[in-house]
Amino acid sequence: MALPQASCEHLIALCQAKTHEQLLCELQQSATAQIALSEEVIMVMPGEDREIKQLNLQRMLEAAAYAGRADTVECLLDFGQQYGVAVPHLLTPWAKWWTLSSANALEVLLKFRALDADVFVRAFRTGPVRVQIISFACTGGPNSEDPPCKAFLPLVRHLMKIGCDPNTPIWRFEDHPGYLLYRACWTACYEVVECLLQHGVLVKGSRAARPAARDGRVDVLELLLRYGADMNECFPGKDLTEPQGTALHAAVASNQTATVEWLLQHGADAGIRNVDGKTTADYIPEDADEALRTLMGGG
pLDDT grade, residue 143 (50/70/90)?
Answer: confident
Give the distance between the most distant pair of CA atoms in the chain.
79
Domain boundaries, the chain: 1-95
Q: What is the pLDDT of residues 158-213, one digit of tens each?
A: 999 999 999 987 765 545 678 899 999 999 999 999 999 999 999 999 999 999 99
- Burial label, 205 (beta-carbon count in 10 A; 0-12, 13-18, 19+): middle
Mean pLDDT within 121-133: 81
Q: CA end-to-end span of the chain, whole Å?
A: 79
Highest mean pLDDT among 26-35, 125-134, 189-198, 288-297: 189-198
Return the pLDDT at 4: 43
d(CA 128, CA 140) in angstroms, rounded, equals: 24
Q: What is the pLDDT of residues 63-102, one digit of tens each?
A: 999 999 999 999 999 999 999 999 999 999 989 999 999 9
The proportion of the chain whose per-residue pLDDT surpasses 70, expressed as a percent, equals 91
Least confident window among 10-24, 45-59, 217-231, 264-278: 45-59
Which segments of the chain does DSSP mark as H helices, in order? 4-16, 20-27, 30-37, 56-67, 70-82, 87-90, 93-99, 105-113, 133-137, 153-161, 179-187, 190-198, 209-214, 218-226, 247-253, 257-265, 290-295
Return the pLDDT at 52: 75
Question: What secondary structure letter does DSSP report for 201?
Answer: -
Q: Give me the chain's average pLDDT, please.
A: 89
Return the pLDDT at 5: 44
Return the pLDDT at 169: 77
Q: What is the pTM of this model?
A: 0.89
